C-alpha cells in the first residue's frame, strides 16, 4: 500500500521560499506523475503542478513563474519550491500520485498546513 | 485558467439520487475524457471517486457514477447515505497540458 507523507516548515515569512518534500513509501516512481495540490483555509482545491517519472513538468499558469517541482528517484521523494510567497499562499498543501495516462489522482498525502506570516 | 463551475450546494434525503454538475469549456471538460471527481470530508484529504469521466476505482461504491455531455460533466450519487455528506470537486485536463479544479459542491443529506 503506497503512502505519501509531506514534510517541511509550517511557517514561512513573506517574500521567502516555501519548500516541501513528499516521501513515497511502499511503491515505485514509475509509471506515475507526482504532483502538488493546495487548499487555502475554508476554500477549494487548486492544482499546482506535477512532474512525470521521466522528469517532464507541468505547472499552473498562475503560479508557473514561482514554482519548481523536482524528483529524486534515488530517495523516492519529490519536492515543491514556491518563491516570493505572500499571505495568499497560506494553504494546506497535498502531495499526490497520478496514474500516467489517466485523470486518476489515486493517492494523496495527509496534507500539511503552511502559513505565510512574519 | 478559470475554475470549472459547480453548484455551491446540493442536498437530498437518504435513499434519493442527486447529481452534481461540473461545467467547463471545449478546452477542458468538453475536449478530453480526463475528468475526475473527489470526495473530501472535513479535515481529510480528498479521495478519488470517479476518473476518466466514468471509471470507478476499486473499493468505491457503485452508487457513484460519472458521465459527460458536451462541456459539462456530472457525478451522480444514488441511494444517498449519511456518509456521503462531504465536499465534492471535479477536475479536468486542459488544452494547456495542465489540470483545473471545479469550485466545489457541498452535499448535505437531509
What pLDDT was estimated at residue A4? 98
Q: Chain A residues with CB inside 8 Å of B104's CB? A: 44-45
Pick from B28, B45, B92 the residue to mutate for testing the A interface (most A CBs within 10 Å): B45
> Which distant-in-sequence residues (6+ apart) come within 8 Å of A26 by Cβ?
A1, A2, A3
> Which distant-in-sequence residues (6+ apart) come within 8 Å of B26 by Cβ?
B71
Which residue in B3, B45, B93 is closest to A111 by CB distance?
A: B45
Minimum CA–CA partner of A94 in chain B: B45
Parallel, antiparallel, or unpaired: how do β-strands A112-116 and A11-12 relate? parallel
Mean confidence (pLDDT) of chain B: 98
The tens digit of pLDDT for each residue in A60-70 reads 999 999 999 99
Give the Cβ contact number of residue A87 at 10 Å: 11
The tens digit of pLDDT for each residue in A18-45 reads 999 999 999 888 899 999 999 999 999 9
CA distance B20 to B11: 10
Q: Do B98 and A49 touch (CB under 8 A)?
A: yes
Measured on CA atoms in the order A46, B84, B55, A53, is the torsion positive or negative? positive
How many Cβ pairs closer than 8 A exist between chain A and B?
Answer: 67
Report whether pLDDT(A17) > 90.
yes
Please classify residue A55 by burial: count the beta carbons closer than 10 Å to its beta carbon, then call 0-12 exposed, 13-18 middle and 19+ buried. exposed
Pick from A45, A67, A91, A97 the residue to mutate for testing the B interface (most B CBs within 10 Å): A45
Report whether pLDDT(A74) > 90.
no
Q: How far is A38 from chain B (nearest CA, A)?
A: 11
Distance of CA B100 to the CA centre of its chain: 13
Report whether pLDDT(B1) > 90.
no
Amino acid at each position: 500500500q503506497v503512502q505519501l507523507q509531506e514534510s517541511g516548515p509550517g511557517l514561512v515569512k513573506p517574500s521567502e521560499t516555501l519548500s516541501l518534500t513528499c516521501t513515497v513509501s511502499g511503491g515505485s516512481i514509475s509509471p506515475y506523475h507526482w504532483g502538488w495540490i493546495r487548499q487555502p483555509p475554508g476554500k477549494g482545491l487548486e492544482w499546482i503542478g506535477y512532474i512525470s517519472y521521466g522528469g517532464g513538468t507541468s505547472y499552473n499558469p498562475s503560479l508557473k513563474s514561482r514554482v519548481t517541482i523536482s524528483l529524486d528517484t534515488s530517495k523516492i521523494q519529490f519536492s515543491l519550491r514556491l518563491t516570493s510567497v505572500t499571505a495568499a499562499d497560506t494553504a494546506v498543501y497535498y502531495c499526490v500520485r497520478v496514474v500516467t495516462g489517466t485523470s486518476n489522482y489515486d493517492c494523496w498525502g495527509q496534507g500539511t498546513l503552511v502559513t505565510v506570516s512574519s | 485558467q478559470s475554475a470549472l463551475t459547480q453548484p455551491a450546494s446540493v442536498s437530498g434525503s437518504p435513499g434519493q439520487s442527486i447529481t452534481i454538475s461540473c461545467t467547463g469549456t471545449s478546452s477542458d471538460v468538453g475536449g478530453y475524457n480526463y475528468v475526475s471527481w473527489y470526495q473530501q470530508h472535513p479535515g481529510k484529504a480528498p479521495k478519488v471517486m470517479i476518473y476518466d469521466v466514468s471509471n470507478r476505482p476499486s473499493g468505491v461504491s457503485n452508487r457513484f457514477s460519472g458521465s459527460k455531455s458536451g462541456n459539462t460533466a456530472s457525478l451522480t450519487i444514488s441511494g444517498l447515505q449519511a456518509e456521503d455528506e462531504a465536499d465534492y470537486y471535479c477536475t479536468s485536463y486542459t488544452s494547456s497540458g495542465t489540470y483545473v479544479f471545479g469550485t466545489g459542491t457541498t452535499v448535505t443529506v437531509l
